Amino acid sequence: MKTWEYIVRRLLLLIPVLIGVTIITFVISHVIPADPAIAFAGGPKAQPETIERIREELHLNEPLLVQYFYYLNDLLHLNFGKSYLESRPVLESITQYFPATFELTIFAMLISVPLGILGGIISAIRRNKLSDHITRIIAILGYSMPIFWLALMLQYLLAYQFPILPLEGRLSIGLIAPQSITGLYVIDSILTGNINTLSASLYHLILPSFTLGFATMALLLRMTRSSMLEVMGMDYVRTARAKGLSERVVIMKHALRNALIPTITVSGLQFGALLGGAVLTESIFNWPGMGRFAANAVMGLDFNSVMGFTIIVAIIYVIANLIVDLLYAVIDPRVKLGGE
């Protein structure tokens, strides 16, 4: 199969998945609540007139199938309803908050992927030695810790007791955000040549992105370690050693390259976990991203925003996975040939 054929096939497969996602979100928002009108109106304390109005607006008196088509029609017109907390369309809020979340998840990846892979290699090479045990303990703690608790502890220790890092937010108080080009403060600061906002935004990113990436780092460390150990037992590694190649070459060229394939796949998939983790991390570090927006919406019973956030994130995640898969097929030809 040619690469473009594979790409077209994957794009076509996207359609049923996206339809499936809308069915799930439709069921969650229109079938699961005891009374969807009350849920959308902001809970049982809402005014009866508001509830009635919403019942009309969302066609909740119609049969479910009809409701679903109204719902799908709204989604196709990018109409995700109005956020009651922010009194503006949900899409507008999410578009505004998205760059902050994107910047945070990118930095979480930049921290966790290299650290995880490096830790995994060290652990595998020095198997059952002290450094192996230490890295493994860090890894297992990494995915045993509630992310919001880790965030609180780090914030308390490193921003309050020993104030070496900023407590919260994206920039220091008093600094004006760089002119918005991409919405990512670091990139915008570089583009506009603003050293002050560049250093401040990097400084503010350290704690939240480390917290967010910690579990991913732990997972990647563990995966790299086990796949390194597996690969190092393979015949071709033994052959490479028998040829008299140095241990360095054997590990870097023969073992690592093959061991990294599963790790790279998983790193791509971790994007979804990071988006989920962002809801918790952002609300602690007061990071003005869509995760904090979602957490506030949950607390404020702003059901429309919660559902809008869910479907937008699901779409982003589906597309991100598709991109990862496509890149992967380009890198590793075996995927599109034998994977089907």
Partner 1 sequence: MLHLFRRSLLSMIGLILILFIIFIAIFAPYLAIQHPTYVEVSTEQGTRRIEERWDINFQDKFIPPNSEHYFGTDDFGRDIYSMVIYGTQISLKICLMVVFSATIIGIILGGIAGYFGGKIDEILMRVTDVFLSIPYLILAIAVAAALGRSIENIMMALVLVWWPQYARLLRGQVLSIRENQYVEAARSIGANNWRILFRHVIPNSFAPLLVQITLDLGAVLLVAAGLSFIGLGAPPGTAEWGLMISSGRMHMFHSWWYATFPGLAIVITVLGFNLLGDGIRDITDPKLRR
Footprint of partner 1 (CB under 8 A): 16-17, 20-21, 23-25, 28-29, 32-34, 39, 140-141, 143-149, 152-153, 155-156, 160, 226, 229, 233, 272-273, 275-277, 279-280, 283-284, 294-295, 298-299, 303, 306-307, 309-310, 313-314, 317-318, 321
Could you give the C-alpha distances from 158 to 119, 138, 161, 165, in angstroms and in order? Answer: 23, 19, 6, 6
Quick one: 171 or 279, whose CB is closer to partner 1? Answer: 279
Least Å from the CB of residue 188 to partner 1: 27
Minimum CB distance to partner 1 smaller for 29 or for 224: 29
Beta bridge partner(s), residue 83: 88
- 3-state DSSP call for residue 227? helix
The distance of closest approach from Cβ of residue 144 to partner 1 in the complex, given in angstroms and rounded to an integer, is: 4
Q: Which is nearer to partner 1, 139 or 186 (CB)?
A: 139
Residue 231: partners with Cβ closer than 8 Å, 6 or more residues away: 237, 255, 258, 259
- Report the relative pairing of strands 88-89 and 82-83 from DSSP bridges: antiparallel
Q: What is the smallest separation between the CB atom of 322 and partner 1, expressed in angstroms?
A: 10
Considering beta carbons, is residue 183 or 272 the nearer one to partner 1?
A: 272
> Which H or E run contains 269?
helix 257-284
Nearer to partner 1, 99 or 291 (CB): 291
Q: What is the rounded CA–CA span in Å between residue 305 and residue 217?
A: 31
Could you tell me the smallest distance in angstroms from the CB atom of residue 17 to partner 1?
Answer: 6
Phi, psi (5° rounding) for residue 47? -65, 140
Residues paired with residue 89 on neighbouring β-strands, in sequence order: 82
Find the shortest distance in angstroms from Cβ 190 to partner 1. Answer: 30
